[in-house]
Amino acid sequence: MVMKYLLSAMKEVILAVVPVSLFLLLFQTVILKSPVRDFHKVVLGLTLTIFGMRLFLSSLNTGLIPLGENVGATLPQKATLWLIIIFSLIIGYIAALAEPSLIVFAKKIEDLTSGAMSRNLIMHSVAAGLSMGFVLGILRIVYRGSFALFLIPFVILLALLSYLSPEKYALIAWDAAGVASGAVTVPLFLAVGIGTASVIGGTSSAMAGFGLITLSAFGPVLVMLVIGIVAGRG
């Protein structure tokens, strides 16, 4: 029984990783006619990726996601508004710092700017923005607000700030939104959001928990655009 589950679970990851890897390898060797450097290391890395992803996904499904749903379901019943805000700020900030995509993103920017924008500055700025966006999304669920009424003013504000910010900072800011769709933040935020929405509006209203990731993603964009405007004037 356990072996059957493991084989089934591994199959999902293999079907996700192998096609992409084969396409990249074939494209480089056949179309670009370029050899794959350190091929044995590439194969080893892909093998470790498959096993690592499987362990990571299993851990999320059995640990982080149920815990997030439990907290989300309990939070509106036993916490005050201020406690909900504080919780959302902290969990959003911690989740962002734990996000592998943010680590890669911040390191790449630090390298390309020769240290002018440090990795710590990027990571903590994006994490702060993500936590603020997460708070906004949770408050929308708690107060059963219209998603459009939250979304439209946010989009207008970000469009205006993008116009005022130097383009290189605007490009970085909008790419920072990708942190909200990472391997850690997506399952955690969805779990908390759906758990909260289910308690507030019943199981049939659990769909109200969606949209949380979008509002969370706008937070890092906002913070990075403000940094870009300030830096551009310096």
Burial category of 149 from C-beta neighbours within 10 Å (exposed 0-12, middle 13-18, buried 19 and up): exposed
Maximal C-alpha separation, the chain: 63
Q: How far apart are CA 138 and CA 134, in angstroms?
A: 6
pLDDT on residue 203: 45
pLDDT in tens, the chain (234 residues): 445 555 566 777 777 788 888 888 888 888 878 887 888 888 888 888 888 877 777 777 777 778 777 777 787 777 777 888 888 899 889 988 988 888 889 999 999 888 888 899 999 999 999 999 999 998 888 888 888 999 999 999 999 999 999 998 999 999 998 877 787 888 888 888 887 787 776 544 667 678 888 999 999 999 999 999 998 776
Q: How far apart are CA 182 and CA 164, in angstroms?
A: 28
Cβ–Cβ under 8 Å, residues 219 and 130? yes
Residue-wise DSSP of 155-170: HHHHHHHHHHS-HHHH
pLDDT on residue 19: 84
pLDDT on residue 188: 83
pLDDT digits 0-9 by tens, 149-191: 999 999 999 999 999 999 989 999 999 988 777 878 888 888 8
Q: How far apart are CA 181 and CA 124, in angstroms?
A: 17
Task: Annotate 69-102 with b (16+ C-beta within 10 A) or e (fewer).
Answer: bebbbebbeeeeeeebeebbbebbbebbbebebb
